C-alpha cells in the first residue's frame, strides 16, 4: 500500500471521528445558492443524513455541511454539456448541486435513499449501484430507528435536534477560575477542560500548556448553532458534536482531555464488622434485649421510712 493510501485512510478515520456518522457516498460536487452566479467546487461526503463539504480531498475538517433530514424535494433544474444541476428544497433554504451526468444521478439516488428511506423507480443506474442504494437505505433506516429508540429511553439530547450534545469526559460544571485551578493542581490528569461559558448559554474550552518553562492558559468560546458547535476563532470552525470539539483541540494542540483519576474500594465490608476484619471472620452479635417496661399502675406504692 502506498504512502498516499495510508494518508487517505488516516484522513478518513479523522473525518469519521469528527462527524460521528457512517460514510455512504463521496465524490466531487459543486454547490451554490439560487442568488449566486458561480458554483463552488467541493469534495463531498454523504454521512448519515448529512452532506459534508471539504475544500479538497486531503482536508480532514469540513468547511460546510448540509442537513438533509427535513428535505422536502429534489428537483432537476438544468442539464447541459454533460452536467446536471439538482435543487434541494429544504425548510429554510434552497441549494443547487451540480455534478457530471452519471454522478449527479447517483447523488440523487443516495440523497433520496437516506431522506425518504426508499429508492426511486426511475433511476438510471447500474444493477450494482442499485444494490448499494438498497443497502444504504436499510443501514440508514436501522441507524435512525436505533437513534429514536435511545432518545425514547432517555438518552442525552440537546435543545437542537440536529446536533449531538452528549458531554465529553473532560466536561466540568466549573467557572473559568476553577478550571484554571484544576489544571494547575493536577496537570498529570490532562490539559483540556470543557466547561459552561461565563457570559453565554454556550460552552468554553480552557487549556494549559508549558511553553519555555512557563504555564500558558488559554480560553476559547464554543457557541451552539443550527449546524453544530462553532469554535469562535479568527477563522471559525463548526463541528457537529462536543466530543468532536474536544477531538479538534487534541489534534490541533497535542494536549489531552482533563479526566480525574477515580478511587474505588477493592473489597466489600459486611454490616456490623470492623473495617480491619475480613468479611465473614467476625462472629455475629446477638441484638441487645431492650429493658422490661414496668407499668406504674401495678407497682405497689413505696412505704415511707421510719
pTM of the entire predicted model? 0.51
Domain count, the chain: 2
The whole-number average pLDDT for the span 173-185 is 93
Look at residues 105, 137, 152 and tell me which one is the last residue of a structural domain: 152
Residues 111, 241, single domain; the answer is no
Higher pLDDT, 68 or 264: 68
Longest dimension (CA), the chain: 133
Q: Per-residue DSSP letters for 58-88?
A: T-SS-SEEEE-TT--EEEEEEEETTEEEEEE
> Do residues 33 and 107 share a domain?
yes
pLDDT of residue 301: 45
Q: Confirm if 125 and 110 have CB atoms less than 8 A apart.
A: no
Task: Say which range, 65-69, 145-149, 181-185, 299-303, has the weakest mean pLDDT.
Answer: 299-303
Same domain, 117 and 217: no
Q: Residue 88: pLDDT band by 50, 70, 90 thresholds?
A: very high
- In this structure, the dihedral spanned by the alpha carbons of residues 177, 179, 181 and 184, taken in order and rounded to 10 degrees, is -140
The reply to whether 292 falls in a domain is no
In sequence order, which residues have a C-beta less than 8 Å from that of residue 41 and are 6 or more positions away?
28, 29, 30
Q: Which residue has the higher pLDDT, 160 or 250?
A: 250
When the pLDDT of each residue in the chain is averaged and rounded to a whole number, the result is 80
Grade residue 9 by pLDDT with cuts at 50, 70 and 90.
confident
117 and 243: one domain? no
Domain residues for the domain of 32 are 3-152
Per-residue pLDDT at 160: 40
Predicted local confidence at residue 274, as pLDDT: 57
The pLDDT of residue 293 is 41
Residue 261 counted as domain residue: no
Whichever domain contains 119, its CATH number is: 2.30.29.30
More confident site: 102 or 293: 102
Residue 302 pLDDT greater than 80, yes or no = no
Higher model confidence: residue 151 or residue 212? 212
More confident residue, 172 or 151: 172
Mean pLDDT for the stretch of residues 118-132: 84
Q: According to DSSP H, which parts of the chain are helical?
A: 3-19, 101-116, 127-152, 176-185, 242-253
The model's confidence at residue 101, banded by pLDDT at 50, 70 and 90, is: confident
- Residue 276 belongs to a domain: no
Residue 131 maps to a domain: yes
Q: Are residues 12 and 126 in the same domain?
A: yes
**pLDDT > 90 fraction of the chain, expressed in percent and rounded:** 37
Amino acid at each position: 500500500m502506498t504512502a498516499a493510501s495510508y494518508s487517505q485512510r488516516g484522513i478518513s478515520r479523522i473525518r469519521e471521528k469528527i462527524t460521528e456518522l457512517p460514510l455512504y457516498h463521496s465524490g466531487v460536487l459543486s454547490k451554490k445558492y439560487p442568488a449566486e452566479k458561480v458554483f463552488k467546487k467541493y469534495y463531498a461526503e454523504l454521512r448519515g443524513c448529512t452532506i459534508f463539504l471539504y475544500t479538497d480531498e486531503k482536508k480532514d475538517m469540513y468547511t460546510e455541511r448540509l442537513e438533509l433530514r427535513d428535505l422536502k424535494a429534489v428537483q432537476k433544474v438544468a442539464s447541459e454539456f454533460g452536467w446536471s444541476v439538482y435543487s434541494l428544497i429544504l425548510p429554510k433554504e434552497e441549494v443547487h448541486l451540480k455534478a457530471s451526468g452519471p454522478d449527479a444521478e447517483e447523488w440523487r439516488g443516495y440523497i433520496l435513499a437516506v431522506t425518504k428511506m426508499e429508492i426511486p423507480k426511475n433511476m438510471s443506474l447500474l444493477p450494482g449501484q442499485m444494490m448499494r442504494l438498497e443497502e444504504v437505505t436499510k443501514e440508514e433506516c436501522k441507524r435512525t430507528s436505533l437513534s429514536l429508540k435511545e432518545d425514547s429511553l432517555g438518552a442525552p439530547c440537546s435543545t437542537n435536534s440536529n446536533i449531538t450534545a452528549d458531554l465529553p469526559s473532560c466536561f466540568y460544571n466549573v467557572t473559568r477560575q476553577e478550571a484554571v485551578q484544576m489544571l494547575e493542581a493536577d496537570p498529570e490528569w490532562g490539559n483540556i477542560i470543557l466547561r459552561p461559558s461565563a457570559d453565554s448559554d454556550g460552552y468554553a474550552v480552557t487549556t494549559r500548556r508549558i511553553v519555555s518553562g512557563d504555564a500558558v492558559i488559554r480560553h476559547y468560546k464554543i457557541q451552539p448553532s443550527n449546524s453544530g458547535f462553532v469554535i469562535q476563532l479568527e477563522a471559525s470552525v463548526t463541528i457537529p458534536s462536543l466530543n468532536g470539539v474536544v477531538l479538534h483541540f487534541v489534534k490541533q494542540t497535542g494536549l489531552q482531555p482533563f479526566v480525574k483519576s477515580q478511587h474505588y474500594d477493592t473489597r466489600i465490608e459486611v454490616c456490623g464488622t470492623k473495617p480491619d476484619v475480613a468479611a465473614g471472620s467476625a462472629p455475629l452479635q446477638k441484638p441487645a434485649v431492650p429493658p422490661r417496661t414496668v407499668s406504674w399502675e401495678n407497682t405497689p406504692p413505696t412505704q415511707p421510712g421510719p
